[in-house]
Amino acid sequence: EDQVTQSPEALRLQEGESSSLNCSYTVSGLRGLFWYRQDPGKGPEFLFTLYSAGEEKEKERLKATLTKKESFLHITAPKPEDSATYLCAVTWATGRRALTFGSGTRLQVQP
């Protein structure tokens, strides 16, 4: 059973068209949920950590939210430079300290 599921797999937006990416998780005792951005040929770049339901974090056009079952990454008025793969990862109470990743959402923003 997948512990972290991201949707959609791919998303194409027009510049300025806001949308949301979803990360759902099935682990118990969530310790942390992490969002990363990955550009081709690069390592994942850290964006946000969320630790408890109801928490929200913002950075420029991105806003991450967390519930007891899922997290959303909201992208407001995206620009072409926001095109990347967005990865979600979790750690949980009875799991290892390393991150368990979802398969990612490939976002393309067209001018």
Partner 1 sequence: GAGVSQSPSNKVTEKGKDVELRCDPISGHTALYWYRQSLGQGLEFLIYFQGNSAPDKSGLPSDRFSAERTGGSVSTLTIQRTQQEDSAVYLCASSVGGNQPQHFGDGTRLSIL
Residues in contact with partner 1 by CB under 8 A are 31-32, 34, 36, 41-46, 49, 51, 87, 89, 91, 96-104
- Considering beta carbons, is residue 9 or 111 the nearer one to partner 1? 9
Nearest approach, Cβ of residue 91 and partner 1 (Å): 6
Structure token digits, residue 36: 């990363």
Nearest approach, Cβ of residue 104 and partner 1 (Å): 7
Structure token digits, residue 31: 């310790």
Nearest approach, Cβ of residue 60 and partner 1 (Å): 17
Instruction: Compute CA distances 67 → 11, 24, 30, 107, whole Å.
Output: 22, 9, 11, 23
Backbone angles phi, psi at 67, to 5 degrees: -120, -170
